[in-house]
Amino acid sequence: MTTNYKQILLILFKLISLPGIISLLFLSAPVTATPINTKTIAQQPQNTDIKAAADKVFAEGVELFNQRTADSLKQAIPKFQAAAQLYEQARKINLQAICLVVIGNVYSDIGEKQKALVFYNQALPISRMLGDKKMEATTLNNIGTVYRFLLEKQKALDFFNQALPILRMLGDKRMEATTLNNIGSVYNFLEKPDKALELFNQALPIFRAFRDKSMEATTLNNIGSAYKSLGKYQRALEFFNQALSIFRVVEDKSKEATILNNIGTIHNSLGEKQQALEYYNQALSLYKALGNRDREANTLGNIGTIYNSLGEKQQALESFNQALPIFQELGDRHREAIILNNIGVVYSDLEEKQKALSYYNQALPLYKALGDRDGEAITLNNIGNIYDDLEEKQKALSYYNQALPLYQALGDRDEEANTLNNIGSVYDSLGEKQKALEYYNQALPLYKALGDRDGEVTTLNNIGNVYYSLGEKLKALSYYNQASPPYKALPTRLPERLPVNFRTQESFFPIFREEDIFLPVFRKPTRLPLRLPKSTR
């Protein structure tokens, strides 16, 4: 390996060690590449000049990247692209592959996941052609993380599972453990926390054997997240607190702040809102001191969700409005969309429907551009809810009907059922009773299969109301009687007089994913409780 090549790798390692590039932070070791055999490719003098030019433009890209603004990140991309082309001309295709991975990382970092995939998929065949197994495994891992973000969980698993045997063949135990963590995080996302725990517990002793305290703490954090998914909040706290102690010992303030944020989410889940605020505010102070604008904005988003749940809407808006310009400055369009959605929800709760609509309409094109179908469906449903409130029923139908196939494609049966009920409710209001029945009867078996008693009771009641309005009193009574047993089993009763329609509340979700530090799972957003509008009977 030449000195120049080592220097480029050192620059690369410095680049990927920064917190903004999440996809290579998923790796416990930096990217390495197998040098091309110089006996097979003659080193022409002009190639040396081209490589020097490539090194220079690559370094310029690094300098822009280090500025960490939305503009500088975008300006870094053409620099890295130019470097990749020059390395290709200089026949340094190992360095070309590294540039392609870095470009993918920058696109991933600014939320353009589909573009990230384009560059990762260019790097992958090069690494295979070179026989560079470690680069191949790295790229497979990065592709997996993008698919996980895009909620294509099976694809994510496929790529992680391709990386794992390669790393085992190489005997690279650290990266094997990291990939086990990746796979575990997907299983946690798939609501299989027991399987996730099994994988995290395989990774933990490997990191301990290497005395890698940072990744040990990361894995402890992952285990805590799995216990959180199981609803074992005290157990989750135990593991989060173990991780917190380690990060404090190794004086990693950034990850200490992350764990404080995670502990805040547990207290939030336990309904201990003030304690959650205390932990979030501790995390916020650390992030501000570190100048970590990204995590500062995340935490402001978390604080906003707490204030919203406490009914302190103006303080919620204040927190979200502090977070929004940071995400815009960083070029993080995904979290910008989340914050815009959340602000819309708050304005909707404040009955400022036109303001809510304005924010939803800013979020929607961002989700579409990012290919985030879940976020798109949520926002379409939210807009439908606003038009329903404004008595613009045909517009409401239009948005609900756009959301429905997205939920069906995602396999989100809960939201599919809610949206079917929303559509049924609109037809009911329009006096189109048979169409209302058609949609209610599609929603009902979904609620039953999901064990969603709230949805089942309300839908049975809605069907009963339709038959009652049609003068079919006996049929109505039959559905009211079917609603009675599950209604009595509800831990918190619905109102004595059930509403005629049942609708999904405008979805509002926390900005910070609490799962793991290096491998954040982009968990399906948490919904607010379903809202039961007033009866129109």
Q: Which domains does the chain have, with CATH numbers?
A: 1-170 (1.25.40.10), 172-331 (1.25.40.10), 418-504 (1.25.40.10)
Question: In this structure, what token pair is assigned to residue 350?
Answer: 């404040």
**SS3 label, residue 531:** strand
Which residues are within 8 A (CB) of 392 and not within 5 positions of it... i.e. 6 or more apart? none
518-535 in b/e form (b: 16+ CB < 10 A) is: bbbbbbbbebbebebeee
In total, the chain counts a number of residues equal to 537
Q: Is 412 left (phi over 0), alpha (psi -120 to 50) or beta?
A: beta
Place of tokens 């204030």: 307
Q: What is the pLDDT along the chain (537 residues), one digit of tens a residue?
A: 443 555 554 444 444 433 222 222 222 222 223 222 333 334 455 778 899 999 999 999 989 988 877 788 899 999 999 999 999 999 999 999 999 999 998 888 777 888 999 999 999 999 999 999 989 999 999 999 899 878 788 999 999 999 999 999 999 999 999 999 999 999 998 889 999 999 999 999 999 999 999 999 999 999 999 999 999 999 999 999 999 999 999 999 988 998 999 999 999 999 999 999 999 999 999 999 988 888 899 999 999 999 999 999 999 999 999 999 999 988 888 899 999 999 999 999 999 999 999 999 999 999 999 889 999 999 999 999 999 999 999 999 999 999 999 999 999 999 999 999 999 999 999 999 999 999 999 999 999 999 998 889 989 999 999 999 999 999 999 998 888 775 555 554 433 333 333 333 333 333 332 333 332 222 222 222 333 323 322
Name the 3-class secondary structure at 254: helix
Distance CA 228, CA 244 (A): 16
Beta bridge partners of 503: 531
Q: How far apart are CA 110 and CA 115, in angstroms?
A: 10
Q: What's the rounded Cα separation, in Å, for the pair 466 and 536?
A: 12
Task: Give the closest residue to 101 by CA, choosing from 128, 120, 86.
Answer: 120
CB 519 within 8 A of CB 145: yes
Distance in angstroms (rounded) separating the CA atoms of residues 341 and 353: 13
Q: What is d(CA 378, CA 181) in angstroms, rounded to the nearest whole number?
A: 29
User: What gap in Å lies between CA 526 and CA 341, rounded to an integer?
Assistant: 13
Position 68 scores a pLDDT of 72
Burial class (CB in 10 A: 0-12, 13-18, 19+), 226: buried
165: left (phi over 0), alpha (psi -120 to 50) or beta: alpha
Query: Helices 253-269 and 273-290, interaxial angle, to 10°?
Result: 160
The backbone torsions φ and ψ at residue 35, rounded to the nearest 5 degrees and listed phi first, read -65, 145
Residue 503, φ and ψ in degrees, nearest 5? -135, 150
Helices 373-389 and 393-410, packing angle to 10 deg: 160
Residue 265: partners with Cβ closer than 8 Å, 6 or more residues away = 228, 276, 302, 510, 512, 514
Which one, of 226, 229, 298, lies nearest residue 243 by Cα? 226
pLDDT for position 271: 93
